Amino acid sequence: MKLLYFAWVKQKAGTGEEEVSLPANIRDVNGLIAWLKTRGEGYEAAFADLGIIRCAVDQAHGDFDTSIAGATEVAFFPPVTGG
Amino acid sequence: MIRVQAEDFDIGAEVAALTAGRTDIGAVVTFSGLVRDASGNAPVTSMELEHYPGMTEKELARIETEAHERWPLQATLIVHRVGRLAPGDNIVLVVAASAHREAAFEAASFLMDYLKTRAPFWKREEGQGEARWVDARESDDQAATRWKR
């Protein structure tokens, strides 16, 4: 699965894009975040305050309980600030 | 129509292209957003706009489709710039064309409200030797909720 990070989430995670093989028991975005937080301080810092984290599953806005079964791409980012 | 680009845009030329050869359009509303030179009390000397290539275009297309479902529109255009911008530069252009003005005004407003709360762009402002990511505004979320149905 491809993971993408944007804006300060990217800076804290220390990467903008990575390819990961997930444990089979991870079913939704919540599970993915919990797993990512075990991968190092950068991820822990990036996901320290979930109130300011947004996600997209296969390039569509999702929630933390959105399923990632069969998804090819999940992205994490702060609330958007375009326009 | 959707465009994400680093280059500047010419509002007059964009409107002319959108309405060329058409006689069914009676109203054109345009909104353009520019880079300000200050954020609150903090001076801004430049701005970097990051986005999520692929999702940005999809999300803008979804927003545009929804506008066409809600209002009788003849044409719409969204142009959003990315990359490095300076105070005074154009950031975003929204154009809505309809037979009568009400639909064009409302659709342009809707497009901007949804773009601001849903399209995956992030601004980073630079000034006084430091860079800071711009925080999302509660007022933008509130503006978008008025279109909920």
Tell me the pLDDT of chain A (83 aa) as tens digits: 999 999 999 999 999 999 999 999 999 999 999 999 999 999 999 999 999 999 999 999 999 999 999 999 999 999 999 99
ipTM exceeds 0.90 = yes
Q: What is the DSSP letter of B119?
A: S
**Per-residue pLDDT reduced to its tens digit, B32-89:** 999 999 998 899 999 999 999 999 999 999 999 999 999 999 999 999 999 999 999 9
- Cα–Cα distances in Å, from B82 out to A62, B50, B108? 24, 6, 21
Interface touch A78/B118, C-beta < 8 Å:
no
Chain B residues whose C-beta sits inside 8 Å of any chain A C-beta: 33, 49-52, 54-55, 58-59, 80, 91-92, 112, 115-124, 133-136, 140
Interface touch A6/B50, C-beta < 8 Å:
yes
Domain boundaries, chain B: 2-129
Please, what is the Cα angle at B68 between B67 and B74, to 5 degrees? Answer: 120
Query: How far is the C-alpha of B64 from the C-alpha of B51, rounded, in Å?
Result: 18
Q: Which CATH entry fits the domain spanning A2-77: 3.50.50.100, 3.10.20.30, 1.10.1200.10, 2.60.120.620? A: 3.10.20.30
> Contacts of residue A4 in chain B, CB cutoff 8 Å?
52
Q: Which CATH entry fits the domain spanning B2-129: 3.40.50.1820, 3.30.360.10, 3.90.1170.40, 3.30.1390.20? A: 3.90.1170.40
